[in-house]
Amino acid sequence: MARRALVAGNWKMNGSRDSNASLIHDIVLDVRKYPDIDVLVCPPAIYLESVGRQLEGSPVQLGGQNLCEQEKPGAFTGEIHGGMLRDVGCSHVIVGHSERRALYGEGDDRVAAKFRTAQICGLIPILCVGESLAERENGQTESVLARQLQAVLDRCGIEAFRRAVIAYEPVWAIGTGRTATPEQAQQAHAFLRDRLARSDAKIASSVRILYGGSVKAENAGALFGCPDVDGGLIGGASLKSVEFMAICAAAQARSK
């Protein structure tokens, strides 16, 4: 099945009003060269509205980096409800990024709850999964991926993956400059797709699985050339327009 590539920029806790304006200006100018892919940017929550305004009329989509698992708004100081993300124009939201799992104590259950709340609010969750270096070296990569995926399947069911994206992000490759080889990425992506296929082969073959972890212009082509890699979740390289657009060009080339 032909899956449309998605290139998503996760800005993490970076940016300012000035730098965002200049980055979005460049992306919007260039993005029409890549009509066969989807492009998404996920700025810090405080900048979503202004970035969204600048994206109006362009095909670039807007996503949040996180949301509260609570299904209803209320007394949850400092949290952001999924409905608020929708209200400022988000179509997607990242859930279960390894930085949130490791630094903010988000376990599989909370990640699954966030995934569910995102969908209730009309957002497409981008579910991040991935093993640490120690887990890879101990031969636990597949069991970690299976556990992280199963938590969401248990809570939301296979049907939920009709409107979801998965991002395989090996923790050891994030921000380290050490990218997974195309073979390692393909193996993990095929494993994830196969796990979904146990419940529904059609849904499994249609879900987009992104690779994330030190993707750059120079390695994007080889990674996106893998049959089960449907684009990327880009951190550091999404902050530089030239680099980000070169990654989009690599995704567009895969789509041809």
Ligand X SMILES: O=C[C@H](O)COP(=O)(O)O
Which residues, numbered 92-111, are part of the site for ligand X (CB under 6 A)? 97
Q: Of these residues, 97, 131, 189, 243, which one is catalytic?
A: 97
Binding-site residue total for ligand X (CB under 6 A)? Answer: 14
Report which of 161, 181, 80 is spatially closest to residue 121, judged by C-alpha positions.
80
Q: Is 64 in the site for ligand X (CB under 6 A)?
A: no
Is residue 12 part of an annotated ligand binding site?
yes
Residues 6+ apart with CB under 8 A from 89: 48, 49, 52, 55, 62
Alpha-carbon distance 80 to 75, whole Å? 11
Out of 123, 234, 245, 247, name the contact with ligand X by CB under 6 A.
234
Is residue 214 part of an annotated ligand binding site?
yes
Residue pair 209/168 in contact by the 8 Å Cβ criterion? yes
Q: Which is nearer to ligand X, 66 or 214 (CB)?
A: 214
Q: How far is the CB of 132 from ligand X (least distance, A)?
A: 13
Residue pair 38/232 in contact by the 8 Å Cβ criterion? no
Residue pair 44/14 in contact by the 8 Å Cβ criterion? yes
Q: Of these residues, 106, 135, 169, 243, which one is catalytic?
A: 169
Is 97 known to be catalytic? yes
Is residue 199 part of an annotated ligand binding site?
no
Report which of 104, 70, 97, 96 is spatially closest to residue 84, judged by C-alpha positions.
70
Q: Which is nearer to ligand X, 203 or 240 (CB)?
A: 240
Instruction: Quote the DSSP letter at residue 172.
Output: G
Q: Is 236 in the site for ligand X (CB under 6 A)?
A: yes
Q: Is 235 in the site for ligand X (CB under 6 A)?
A: yes
Alpha-carbon distance 220 to 182, whole Å? 9
The token pair at 80 is 């952001």
Q: Which is nearer to ligand X, 41 or 151 (CB)?
A: 41
Q: How far is the CB of 162 from ligand X (least distance, A)?
A: 23
Is 189 known to be catalytic? no
Residue pair 205/1 in contact by the 8 Å Cβ criterion? yes
Which residues, numbered 166-185, are part of the site for ligand X (CB under 6 A)? 169, 174-175
List of residues contacting ligand X (CB under 6 A)? 10, 97, 169, 174-175, 212-215, 233-237
Annotated binding site for substrate: 10-12, 175, 214, 235-236
Catalytic site positions: 97, 169
